[in-house]
Structure 1
Amino acid sequence: MSNPYLLLTPGPLSTSDTVKQTMMRDWCTWDDDYNLGVVQPIRQQLVELAHCDASQYTSVLMQGSGSFAVESAIGTLMPKENGEQKAGKLLVLVNGAYGQRIAQIAQYMNIGTVTLHAAESEWVSTEALRQLLNEDAAISHVAMVHCETTSGILNPIEHYAPVVKDAGKTLIVDAMSSFGGIDIDVAGLNIDCIISSANKCIQGVPGMGFVIVRTSLLEQCEGNARSLSLDLYDQWKTMESGQGKWRFTSPTHVVRAFQQAMKELHEEGGVNSRAKRYADNHQTLVQGMKKLGFECVVEDEKQSPFITTFKYPQSDQFDFKTLYDRLKQAGFVIYPGKVTDTPCFRIGHIGEVYPQDMENLLRALEANLFWK
């Protein structure tokens, strides 16, 4: 299968031919071939990938984009006032658009929400987090984004998790752009819930997200959901009682492609091997971009291996759309910038891409330095 260009974005991303080929077959959502042969193994493998014990954690698959899965988790895990049960209050750590989206999701559902901000290329202060948790006893849950693809910054879960758990709060992590591409010891870090999507580092296709959550926490969430379609508790109960059955129409082709992508992750050598490839992609790209005169927005020690943001060249002749169009003609699609205060663009280095692809991109860039 030939593609007109390589997707150098944070997702959807370029997938293998074998992942695409699995979508050529149709599946019945009621049949055991699908539920027991595809859905249930995926759920088990996700728990294992997160370094979790199946007796303590479960995974739930959810139709839609990653934001659907985030909304299902926030809307279901946050308690509603009900008799003796108090309503929950959510603290969101924000240093980019996706932290802001979590806060917006909570506000749409009338969940009490407070935010703690940092600049888009900086980490939220752990001391400020500790202080706010001490000052506001009503906070029951803390949500954060692991990799903010706004800038490409990798937020240090290992710094925040002990502070959150020492304060006795529930920790929810949006690992949309990192899960499967960097090792995350969910149980070891005492994370209560982690959320990701099929079309990121596991290299599947868009249409499905998933939530890995502490079972004892999810068991307490009956009746919390603010949405019928995004009721994570009911989706879990149905998948448990129905041995992989979904409540509503399952995205069967997407799920089967995801199973193939999980197989290919294992064949590559697991998360650590994939993380090394992504890191090699990143290093090849950044070294070459610096030689061409580009400057990164995020400091090296805070940068993820998933997507890198570069400042616009200091030239009145530079035009991103022109560069985008020329690179697309050369076989590469890059991403516009999202950092509010800095004119920039982004290049992803995840998916079915390799260091040689980064070298080919750099050659195409060098040939199109029209502003020099």
Structure 2
Amino acid sequence: MKLMTPGPTQVRANVLEARSRSFCNPDLDPAFYDFYKETCDLLEKALRATDHKAFILGGEGILGLEAACASLTEPGDRVLVIDNGIFGKGFADFVEIYGGEPVLFSTDPLQAVKPEELRSFLEKDADFKYATMVHCDTPSGVCNDIETLSRICGEFGIMVVADSVSAMFGERLDLGNADIDILCGGSQKALSAPPGLTMIWVSTRAFAAMKNRKTPIRSFYANLLAIKDYYKNQWFPYTMPVSDIMGLRVALDNFLSDPEVYDRHERVANATRKAVKEMGLELYLNSGMSNTVTVIKVPENKSADDIIRKLRQKYGIQIAGGFDYLKGKVLRIGHMGENCRMEDVNETLEALKNLI
């Protein structure tokens, strides 16, 4: 089955091979602590981190979102939830779980958040411990300028938690040019490793806020302080999934050795949308489309489930539909990471054209 979903993506053979190698006991082997740290150092390099430490957590990308909220939120904290999509709004659930008070700043879901509107909102109310935002809201494919949005929050002294799970490594992101305190990513998106790992970048300021809490962090597995000093202490809070991390390292090496990666994502995204419109189909968004996923309105008198099933059964291609309020209304093609090849996108579009 050719995976053309917006994550998980196709995985290169060298990543699969790395995951099949014999492995050590990561709790006891000093060489693994070095390997883990070297991999985290490369993650910092990849996103130009200047005041952040990167960590790899054993859990799918959602773990990073929850861990960020669990580690920062105390009962009664007001948290700004920047919402122009399903995952953007979803941050409110994590805030509430840990006793915080989410305040939604909701904007048009058919386009990116406008920085000037956020600034205008904060000029009236900026009493927030931190703000949450999403880089690419995968269900709709809308891409927000989180570098600019985070800097605006920084002007008002507000920390920022950003979800770039389905954007990073496909969309340009420079942590040194942003004011993001906790950045969350996932292995199965544009980095093109199998699902199962969270990558997270944590600023000095965020760790200070965690240390200075009045109440304990209300989680063990999602407690970012628990892993902060792993290298100094030569201790992990839980046994690391060694094989997954060995595969992630090779996927990261693949990314770092590809100087054209961002330009290719942009070219393939533009070509995909041009072809979709030439087929007579309508894109879901008005503007602000991510270079990692294209979202298409389901044509009238057609069934999303039927189209997806026939693509899978007749052509061996898997794309995604929508969920939540977009269920049955959209089709989603992922052109991120290893999916970001014109030959794969052309094959997918040709098959789709035959079904509509």
Partner letter of residue 230 of structure 1?
A: A
Contact 2:171 2:290 in 1 (8 A): no
Residue 257 of structure 1: how far off its partner (Å): 0.6
The letter for the 2-side match of 1:164 is C
Amino acid at match of 1:6: K
Amino acid at match of 1:296: L
Of 80, 100, 119, which residue of structure 2 is paired with 1:111?
100
Residue matched to 1:57 = 52
- Aligned counterpart for 1:68 among listed residues 60, 63, 68: 63
Aligned-pair CA distance for 1:161? 2.3
Q: Which residue of 1 aligns with 2:123?
A: 134
User: After superposition, where does 1:171-190 map in structure 2 within 5 Å?
Assistant: 171-190=160-179
Q: Does the 8 Å contact 2:148/2:178 carry over to 1? A: no
Structure 2 Cα separation of the partners of residues 225 and 12 of structure 1 = 31
AA partner of residue 47 (structure 1): E
Query: Scaled by the length of structure 2, what TM-score is found?
Result: 0.92
* Alignment-derived partner of residue 192 in structure 2: 203
CA distance in 2, matches of 1:60, 1:140: 23
Partner Cα distance (1:143, 1:190) in 2: 12
RMSD: 1.9
Secondary structure of 1:345 counterpart = strand
Deviation at 1:128, TM superposition (A): 4.0
CA distance in 2, matches of 1:307, 1:136: 34
Match of 2:242 in 1: 252
Report the equivalent of 1:340.
325
More moved, 12-21 vs 134-143 = 134-143
CA displacement at 1:351 relative to structure 2: 2.9
Distance 1:106 1:349 in 2: 31
User: In structure 2, what is the Cα distance between the partners aligned to 1:159 and 1:220?
Assistant: 23
Instruction: Kindly indicate whether the alpha-carbon contact (under 8 Å) linking 2:269 and 2:291 is maintained by their aligned counterparts in 1.
Output: yes
Distance in structure 1 (CA, Å) of the matches to 2:200 and 2:271: 33
Q: 1:292 aligns with which of 279, 284, 303?
A: 279
Distance 1:44 1:351 in 2: 21
1:361 aligns with 2:348: yes
SS at match of 1:195: strand
Q: Provide Cα deviations, 1:168-199, integer angstroms capped at 9, x if missing partner.
A: 11122111111122221112222222111111
Corresponding residue for residue 84 of structure 1: none
Number of the residue aligned with 1:41 = 38
Tell me the distance in 1 between the aligned counterparts of 2:31 and 2:3: 33
Structure 2 stretches lacking a partner, 5+ long: none
The alpha-carbon distance between structure 1 residues 140 and 216, as it changes in their structure 2 partners (threshold 3 A), is closer
Residue of structure 1 aligned with 2:232, choices 236, 241, 249: 241
- What is the DSSP-based 3-state SS (H/G/I as helix, E as strand, rest coil) of the residue aligned with 1:219? helix
Counterpart amino acid of residue 261 in structure 1: A
Residues 256-312 of structure 1 deviation map (CA, whole Å, 9 limit, x = unaligned): 11001011112222xxx212222232223222222221110113x411111111111
Please tell me whether the aligned partners of residues 321 and 330 of structure 2 are also in contact (alpha carbons under 8 angstroms). Answer: yes
> 1:181 is paired with a residue of what secondary structure?
coil
Offset of residue 105 of structure 1: 0.7
Q: Deviations over 1:114-138 (max 9, x none)?
A: 1111232123343442343233343
Q: Is the 8 A contact 1:133 1:139 kept in 2?
A: no
Letter matched to residue 348 of structure 1: G
- Check 1:291–1:91 CA distance in 2 against 1; reply closer, same or farther (3 A cut): same
By how many angstroms is 1:45 displaced? 0.9
Partner residue, 1:214: 203
Q: Contact between 2:11 and 2:194, CA under 8 Å: does it hold in 1?
A: yes
**8 Å CA contact retained: 2:147, 2:177:** no
Task: Deviation per CA, 1:185-216: give whole Å up to 9, x if none.
Answer: 11222222211111111111111102112124
Q: Scaled by the length of structure 1, what TM-score is found?
A: 0.88
